[in-house]
Amino acid sequence: MSTFQDLRTVRARIGSFTTMIERDAQTRREIAYFKANIGKVTTADALLKDTKLYHFMMEAFGLESQIFAKALMRKVLSEGVTDEDAMANKMTDPKFKEIATICGFKEAGGTSLKSPVVVQAIVDRLVRTRLEVKQGEQNEAVRLALYFERKAPSVSNWYQVLGDKAMAEVALTALGIPREMLASDIDKIKAKLEAKFDIKDFKDPAKLETFIGRFAAMSDLGKGLSGTSAPAVPQITLSRRASVVAIDPSITLALLKVPRF
């Protein structure tokens, strides 16, 4: 089955897939514990000491590979994001800055984690992440497409895309740019991406939909599923559920906004 077809299937059954994950006994227990305890956390050390909460947060933010890098995560979480020299601001992967921003330990002592809206958004993020992983077990391109669809509207420059391995994979594939270019000057890659696509268009649902459709087509072509030329790109409508809160470090935590994905 092609990535196009798999995406259509996910679209048609997104509600049932999500419900299935939410009803899983282990997931229910993890969510219940998270909701009951995350509001008590006010420091990076407190989060790191509670294995259940820490693992929940790391998975929700797509940082499972860094779970055992506790020294790094302590710096990321404790230094916050307001200082340009803070560890989160030095990391290539934007997910580090995102988790530090949401926790806001340095800026507000974790006050945002007491907000039911923020907590539910993080829970929704975990559920969505597990949905993406589950779909990836059948077709990795579907997982990448779902992830990109969720993240793309929040990016403002191509460096953010290139700093995220999964997003970079989707962008390069969709625009027909060889992965080997990642070994070259990042500014040259950025210029090439800019010449092919206006990043502001990711905020337009229709244009984002078309971009993801092109990725699906190019991905299938790369796997030999579509013949010798790129197929036409059909419209694929993907759902948008409440995502984790995105906070601009230049404003206060009082200006929290919950985007849709």
Number of H helices, E strands in the chain: 14, 0
Distance CA 240, CA 78 (A): 32
Mean pLDDT in residue range 123-131: 92
Compute and round to an integer the Cα radius of gyration of the chain: 19
In a domain, 260, yes or no: no
Domain count of the fold of the chain: 1
pLDDT at 44: 98
Distance CA 154, CA 160 (A): 10
Each residue's pLDDT tens digit, 203-254: 999 999 999 999 998 988 876 544 333 344 444 333 333 333 333 333 223 3
Each residue's pLDDT tens digit, 98-120: 999 999 999 999 999 999 999 99
Whichever domain contains 244, its CATH number is 1.10.3700.10
pLDDT at 1: 63
Whole-model pTM: value is 0.70
Residue 200 has pLDDT above 70, yes or no: yes
- 122 or 155: which carries more pLDDT confidence? 122
CB neighbour class for 39 (10 Å; exposed up to 12, middle 13-18, buried from 19): middle
In a domain, 19, yes or no: yes
In a domain, 261, yes or no: no
In a domain, 243, yes or no: yes
Domain that holds residue 9: 3-255
In a domain, 159, yes or no: yes
pLDDT at 244: 38
In a domain, 141, yes or no: yes
In a domain, 173, yes or no: yes
Are residues 6 and 220 in contact, defined by beta-carbon separation less than 8 angstroms? Answer: no
pLDDT at 182: 74
- The tokens describing 162, both together, are 């290139």
